[in-house]
Copies of this chain bind each other. A is one copy, B any other.
């Protein structure tokens, strides 16, 4: 690129109508001139060739992505070696780009293609790049429905205020037929869970068909509601081929599911948005596949970008990798994702963050302290269903832990008079 070519991809914020742009924060490592690399990054994701041969025109003022800010720091070599790319004149850069959303419109696949596509990951001179964050103007967000129930709607449905929402993943997750599977859910509701859920890998399979499972769990759920006097939800996993989602929504809900789980990336965010238009119950996102591009600090896509997109697609709840070394996710990243669920997002309602991973009564207080509010879901698996006193005992242990926390007492102290809590701490506390 010539200096003039490069300059055409830079702009000052005050000279743009920011309603026309999504803003992207990228970190990247480049070889050569950082300004030229940043210009290429804009060019490749928008007007890669901005004029016809022999025609005096320039599509960049309206259609080009533009650099708003660029910081570059020399570094000795790439933070991650890239096959075939020599460490030559390397800079680590942070850039904010304004990308005109009129290029693609309020469509998730086209948005993803523009901001996480060939343009971002194949810009000349930039072998390492990470999309760190994305911001949308309200006029863009207004084209999306967002969560139908959100945090407030889910709380109303469960009549659960001023505390976390207590989920549990029914285990054994794979292999049980509907009847014994429902019995586990029933026990966990009696013990105090709000929502007993299918594992994200449990599908509509012949050895435990969704219709039969939803009927058995739905019946168990209503029985538990009658016996406890408290609203309960069976959360059915309807992750399946896209052209079955609406049919499975109806099948699961008619049979007794009160909310539906979808693996957001495997099904696709656009399919989730389609389901949202049809849904009559809360939609819960699970996180398979996201770690494949979000784990490393120096490459890929920050998981909060996916959290924002899941909220935009209309999920009421987003289950995400939680705290602790077990989930390989830095605490600040979990908190970034929690905030991405709850913070203001124009007309889009908040969704409930559920940071999860090997949780139990022993980890509840830590999660609560880190999140810093009651607006989260807590989702043990073995912490409830592998509890030595069974799922009712496991669920009780969670509620006993919360009662201690809410009253400002020590969880360990309360364990002395609560055998379920004591057993949970003894079994899971060392993890």
Binding site for B on A (CB under 8 A): 45-54, 59, 62-63, 80-85, 102-105, 107-110, 112-114, 116-119, 121-122, 124, 127, 171-176, 180, 184, 199-201, 203-207, 239-243, 263, 265-271, 273-274, 277, 286-289, 291-293, 295-297, 299-301, 321, 325-328, 330, 357, 381-382, 385-391
When distances are taken between beta carbons in the complex, the residues of chain B under 8 Å from A104 are 201, 203, 205
CB-based contact B122/A321 at 8 Å: yes
How far apart sit A80 and B296, CA to CA, in the bound complex (Å)? 8
Does A49 lie within 8 Å of B239, measured CB to CB? no
Q: Please tell me which one of the listed residues B124, B173, B243, B326 contacts residue A48 in the complex, with CB atoms under 8 A apart.
A: B173
Q: Which residues of B contact A103 (CB under 8 A)?
A: 174, 201, 205
Which residue of chain B has the shortest Cβ distance to A48 in the bound complex?
Answer: B173
| Whole-angstrom CA separation of A112 from B292 in the bound complex | 11
Partner of A117, one of B180, B242, B289, B299: B289
- Take A84-B330, A122-B357, A205-B103 as given contacts and tell me if A52 and B172 are in contact as well, using a CB distance cutoff of 8 Å: yes
Smallest CB separation, A191 vs chain B (Å): 13
Task: Tell whether, in the assembled complex, residue A109 and residue B296 are in contact, meaning their CB atoms are under 8 Å apart.
Answer: no
A37 to chain B, nearest CB (A): 13
CA distance A206 to B51 in the complex (A): 20
Residue of B nearest to A331 (CB): B84
Report the minimal beta-carbon distance from A274 to chain B, rounded to whole angstroms: 4
Instruction: Provide the residues of chain B in CB contact with A330, threshold 8 Å.
Output: 83-84
Say yes or no: B200 contacts A277, CB within 8 Å: no
The CA-CA distance from A277 to B244 in the complex, in Å, is 13
Pick from B54, B205, B273, B301: contact of A105, CB under 8 Å: B205
Q: Are the C-beta atoms of A112 and B49 separated by less than 8 Å?
A: no
A53-B387, A80-B296, A85-B328 given; 11 more Cβ-contact pairs under 8 Å = A49-B381, A49-B386, A63-B175, A83-B297, A104-B205, A110-B239, A118-B287, A118-B291, A243-B270, A266-B270, A293-B300
- Is B328 in contact with A116, judged by CB distance below 8 angstroms? no
Q: Can you give 11 A-B contacts (C-beta < 8 A)? A: A53-B391, A62-B175, A84-B325, A103-B201, A105-B203, A116-B289, A117-B289, A118-B200, A118-B287, A241-B274, A268-B270
Contacts of A288 in B (CB 8 A): 112-113, 116-118
